[in-house]
Amino acid sequence: MKPGPQTSHAPQETTPALHLEEEEIDLSDLRWDDALVMVIFWVLAFVVFLQFFTRYVLNDSLGWTEEIARFLLIAVTFTGSVMAVRKNAHIAVEFLYRWVPRPLRRIAQTLIDLVSIAFYAGLAYLSGQLAGRTRQMMVSIDVPKSLVYWFVAACFAAMAAYAIRNAWLHLRSGTSKLIDPEQHADSVRAMD
């Protein structure tokens, strides 16, 4: 007689189901320039989709989409950088700050703020110089290419303005993510 399959009456181990908890979305830190990034991003997405559709589905590419997509990508990048400076969210090397005494961290933060302001203001000036000297037109549409450089110059000017504001806040409050990383890590954990 052939033995049948053995069945066990012990509870079977199952992998736990993934339970997603609904969390409230915090949009309190969004500003008007964040909306500008989103608008440019979705226009870029539409242009890239249009380029893909006409090239690979219709087999008849629209020539202007590649150049416009390139300039829209530049616009998204620099407008997003304005948002990152406003939120004080650009990357920083925080590793050494754990072993540096707090007074030196404050000095380093002040130096970083001053260098950032000079960097953004200098690039705004240079971008403005480049825009003023550019006389070319875009290849695919009859628009001056200098508009792209003026937009970049305006973004750098906005970054410089936000960097000045951030430096003032760091000096006034005496703290920042780099000066007191543990304090800011606790506030991020509290938000989670």
Kindly state the tokens that stand for 33.
């320039």
Burial 44-78 (b: 16+ CB within 10 A, else e): beebbebbeeeeeeeeeeeeebeebbebbebbbeb
Q: 84 in a domain, yes or no?
A: yes
User: Is position 70 within any domain?
Assistant: yes
Does residue 72 lie within any of the structural domains?
yes
SS3 state at 144: strand
Residue 24 lies in a domain: no
What total of structural domains would you count in the chain? 1
| Residue 63 neighbours by CB under 8 Å, 6+ apart | 140
**Overall pTM surpassing 0.95 (yes/no):** no
For residue 176, give its domain range.
32-191
Q: For residue 191, what pLDDT is reported?
A: 40
The identity of residue 99, as a single letter, is W
| pLDDT tier for residue 2 given thresholds of 50, 70 and 90 | low
Amino acid sitting at position 74:
I
Among all chains, which residue has been given the structure tokens 């970083």?
A: 112
Report pLDDT for 126: 97
14-73: pLDDT as tens digits: 555 565 677 777 677 777 778 899 999 999 999 999 999 998 888 888 888 889 999 999
